[in-house]
Amino acid sequence: MIDTTTVGAPKTVFHLIGSPRRSPTSQGGAINNGSGDDRQGQGGTVTEKRVREQSKTKRPPLYRVILLNDDYTPMEFVVDVLKMVFHKTHAEATRIMLHVHQNGMGVAGVYPFEIAETRVRTVEELARQHEYPLKCVMEKA
């Protein structure tokens, strides 16, 4: 606080901006901050408490993209689709293709809904363009 006095003038007390306001007594009592606001029982520094909320981002539900076997689509085409659409290595694509061939279906990948839906459409569009009956579906993981 800056105390300015002049002869014959009343005493004026200024608070610096950003400086904490302290009570005249450490045990409470009236606080006169010069604004006409007399508060009782609020000794010490006036502070503001901030609480940070931690929001956890919820993960989107996942969906399995499943290739269905048929008797007409060439194995090489299925491997190419797995490499191009699902970004599998040649070895991974071959393993998945053989699993589909032997078991009637196989999981090509697990993705959030929008990605799974796009990959299903892409596979079916490629199969249609090449006139193969390859089917692809998605189910909740």
Instruction: Report pLDDT for 25.
Output: 53
| Domain membership flag for residue 18 | yes
**Domain tally for the chain?**
2
Compute the Cα dihedral for 126, 129, 132, 133 and give only its sign.
Answer: positive
> By CB neighbour count within 10 A (0-12 exposed, 13-18 middle, 19+ buried), where does 34 fall?
exposed
pTM, rounded to two decimals = 0.61
Assigned domain for 53 exists: no
Q: Which pLDDT score is estimated for 139?
A: 98
pLDDT tens-digit profile, the chain (141 residues): 444 454 555 555 554 555 555 555 555 555 555 555 555 555 566 666 666 667 789 999 999 999 999 999 999 999 999 999 999 999 999 999 999 999 999 999 999 999 999 999 999 999 999 999 999 999 999
Is residue 76 located within the same domain as residue 105?
yes
- Is 70 domain-assigned? yes
At residue 95, the pLDDT reads 99
Q: Which domain holds residue 126?
A: 62-140
Any domain includes 104: yes
Residues 79 and 135 in one domain: yes
Please check whether residues 13 and 74 belong to one and the same domain. Answer: no
Report the pLDDT value the prediction gives residue 90, as an integer from 0 to 100: 99
Provide the strand spans (E) within 1-141. Answer: 2-4, 12-14, 31-32, 38-39, 62-68, 105-112, 135-140
